[in-house]
Structure 1
Amino acid sequence: MTSSDQPERGSGDAAVQAAAERAEQTRGRNVPQFDDLPGVGDTANLRLGAELNQACLALLPLVGVWRGDGEAKHPALPESYWFRQQVTFAHDGRPFVFYESRAWRLDREGGEVVAPDFREVGWLRPQADDTIEFLLVHAGGVSEMFFGKPRNQTTWEFATDAVIRTPSAEDATAASRLYGVVEGALAYVEERATSEHELQPRLSAKLDRVVG
């Protein structure tokens, strides 16, 4: 293909070509496995491991490992800051998807890691009526029960039905999340409320696929 034949940036052909190029780098990778464990291990790669359960097909585009940078800001925070994040959506063939997020604080936008930041772990449980239960636990002492639905094939929206906090946890009373896969990248926005603030943007990030 000559330079004149290259697809224009932002075109459908360019998006397909970019996705194919990313797949060459990510298609053979997966989450680490321990071979001495019984049963079927988790996979974040739809080409490897157990087949995705039919109940989880609405979550298929999310399955993978994603990395990138984001920004944290909220009236409850002393100041906004940037973070680097890895998000994993994996499964073992059963009717749920495992979720894990790790983040590291940066010294500036696009800068260097200066400290570990928030961690989350949870499960997405699709139901027969197309709702998705999203159970999420934060290392900071907050547990949330989200309910949501796909907006379309590549967008998912969730809102909390219940928030439980330990006595030492950060202030949190409600949250919502919007995830979308756009041109091969995972983007999301989280809004959070506290006892003193209504729902307001708290986290946003754009992550590239590194596995799957």
Structure 2
Amino acid sequence: MTADGTELPVPDTVDVRSGPEVSEELLAVLPLLGEWHGEGQAAGAEGDHRFGQWIRFSHDGRGFLAYESRTWRLSDDGQLAGPGVRESGFWRPRGRDDVELLVTSPDGLVELYVGRARTTTSWELTSDVVARTPDAPEVTRAVRLYGLVEGALMYAIDRAAADEPLRPTMSARLERIR
């Protein structure tokens, strides 16, 4: 929908039963399509904390999934404690099992991942390029692992800074809501 409330002529859709026909190129990532919601754990400069999360994977008929993620910090007792990490990007299947993921965040971080669909329900991606603004978190490489386990989307993100090993940064378990 546009700012004036009119519908876009080519909307994104999160349901394979509506909207444009799903491109055959998307078969390697098709199980991700939809909206997901749940909770996770994060580690960072502000310390470890719980977070809530909403993710949407949508398509417009072309050979990629649009990706949008919003998180919010949760207190130890599960109360809203403020906004968290936001990301947007694209999942781009390349061939039968190869996948590229482009992710940007308002923290000034742009990450390009390459990887493979390990099965029809799991994906392992390693950063190929990490670009950051001068005030962005120091990240030199990263690994993301996504998988569908008993209907839930689970993921883990590990990141490394200069001269440091990969360390857990975020993980979550999300349930499909649409």
| TM-score above 0.5, yes or no | yes
Aligned to 1:97: 65
Take 1:49 and 1:129, find their aligned partners in 2: how far apart are those partners?
24
Give me the TM-score of the superposition, normalised by structure 1.
Answer: 0.79
Aligned to 1:88: 56
Take 1:37 and 1:50, find their aligned partners in 2: how far apart are those partners?
13
| More helix as a share of residues | 1
Aligned to 2:27: 57
Q: Quick one: percent identity of the two aligned structures?
A: 43
Give me the TM-score of the superposition, normalised by structure 2.
Answer: 0.93
Task: State yes or no: 1:44 paired with 2:14.
Answer: yes
Aligned to 1:172: 139
Take 1:119 and 1:37, find their aligned partners in 2: how far apart are those partners?
23
Aligned to 1:112: 79
Aligned to 1:27: none
Q: Deviations over 1:26-84 (max 9, x none)?
A: xxxxxx7965322x21011112111211000111110000000000025xx24210000
Take 2:8 and 2:60, find their aligned partners in 1: how far apart are those partners?
13
- Who wins on radius of gyration, i.e. which is larger? 1
Aligned to 1:69: 39
> How does 1:24-43 map onto structure 2 within 5 Å?
36-38=7-9, 40-43=10-13
CA contact (8 A) 2:97 2:118 kept: no
Structure 2 unaligned spans of 5+: none
RMSD: 1.6
Take 2:123 and 2:150, find their aligned partners in 1: how far apart are those partners?
16
Take 1:184 and 1:71, find their aligned partners in 2: how far apart are those partners?
20
